[in-house]
Structure 1
Amino acid sequence: MMKSRDRRQGVVLVNTGEGKGKSSSALGMVFRAAGWDMKVCVIQYIKGQWQTGEQKAAARFDNIEWHALGDGFTWDTKNPEQDIKTSRAIWEFSQEKILSQAFDVVLLDEINYCCGYNWISGQEIADFIRDHKPPWMHLILTGRNAAPEVLAIAHTVTEMGKVKHAYEQGIKAEQGIEF
């Protein structure tokens, strides 16, 4: 049985670092929460409009709302102004979803990249979380280069460290592993 909102301590979790598994770990929490009948919202900042295994699995749940809103892998960008505009629009959308209080868990997947590229300030994100996140809501932020201000307000921070990666051995992204 799901713990009622008035008895829940919402936590802010950050998965960051150079290693693989930041989003995968967060999505594990998404599916765990959905399994407990919590209402979940996934908002993806970087991933484009292609279909992923996680999104296909989430579609089987009626309590997961999924939004893949990014322009794709922005480190290959040809239009940084558009990337900033898109990131700002997704941030506004994220704030609306959090303020709606319709969700028990919100995942802001790869938002930390936006801070690393200075598209959204870490202080702005930290201030919003501190001042507006409902006290019972769990909030998960993923991506490399998490801002110090975001790390400071988080309850749990995990830094994924890379020892080695298949890509460095010439192995491209594999279905079921990376997407």
Structure 2
Amino acid sequence: MKQREKRNGLTLVHTGDGKGKSSSAFGMVFRAAGWGMKVLVIQFIKGKWKTGEQQAASRFDNIEWHALGDGFTWDTNNPQQDRQTSREIWSFCQQKILSEAYDLVVLDEINYCCSYGWLSGEEIADFIKHSKPKWMHLVLTGRQAPDEVIEVADTVTEMGLVKHAFEQGIKAEQGIEF
């Protein structure tokens, strides 16, 4: 594994309406873990859902996983609670990143929190620019990534939607969406 002081820590953004944003980030999680890197995943939306990727990650000693959200917030009955939860998760993320204990950090679905107005793209971009360790890799996922975050990122991928099973009435499938 490349020593931290010799590494160019990248900030990557996976956004867009297409499927695969989190899946791509989780591919990087397992790739980094395979190289012996210490990995952290913090999920903003999934909440208490049991997911295959979290179960697989539990088999690795070098992956730490936190699913902290209140669930799928577009169905929320309490936007104030969702805003507070997002703020608390963001604070937790900052503490974890500043600990310098991780080589790769994934902030899964954080972009949704910005599009809902619960976090600002400006504050996230400012933190990335001024506080993220230079050697640390950081991945942010979710639709509608804020312009400020896109601006500070090294790599931005927009997943385009061509067709989705959900449009045909097929709900989330185990092993594919979770």
Paired with 1:144 and 1:167, the residues of 2 have a C-alpha distance of: 16
Question: Which structure 2 residues correspond to residues 116-131 of structure 1 after superposition, within 5 A?
Answer: 116-131=115-130
Q: Does 1:95 align with 2:100?
A: no
Give the secondary-structure state (helix, strand or coil) at the position aligned to 2:112: helix
Give the secondary-structure state (helix, strand or coil) at the position aligned to 2:138: strand
Paired with 2:121 and 2:108, the residues of 1 have a C-alpha distance of: 15
Aligned residue number for residue 138 of structure 1: 137
Aligned residue number for residue 110 of structure 2: 111
Structure 1 stretches of at least 4 aligned residues deviating more than 3 Å after TM superposition: none
Aligned residue number for residue 72 of structure 1: 71
Aligned residue number for residue 53 of structure 1: 52
Paired with 1:106 and 1:154, the residues of 2 have a C-alpha distance of: 14
What is the one-letter code of the residue matched to 2:41? V
Offset from partner CA, 1:54-108 (integer Å, 9 cap, x none): 0000000000000000000000010000000000000000000000000000000
Offset from partner CA, 1:20-61 (integer Å, 9 cap, x none): 000000000000000000000000000011210000000000
TM-score (norm 1): 0.99
Paired with 1:128 and 1:170, the residues of 2 have a C-alpha distance of: 40
Identity of aligned residues (%): 74
Aligned residue number for residue 86 of structure 1: 85
Structure 1 unaligned runs (5+)? none
Q: How much does 1:174 deviate?
A: 0.6
Paired with 1:76 and 1:120, the residues of 2 have a C-alpha distance of: 18
Aligned residue number for residue 6 of structure 1: 5
Give the secondary-structure state (helix, strand or coil) at the position aligned to 1:140: strand
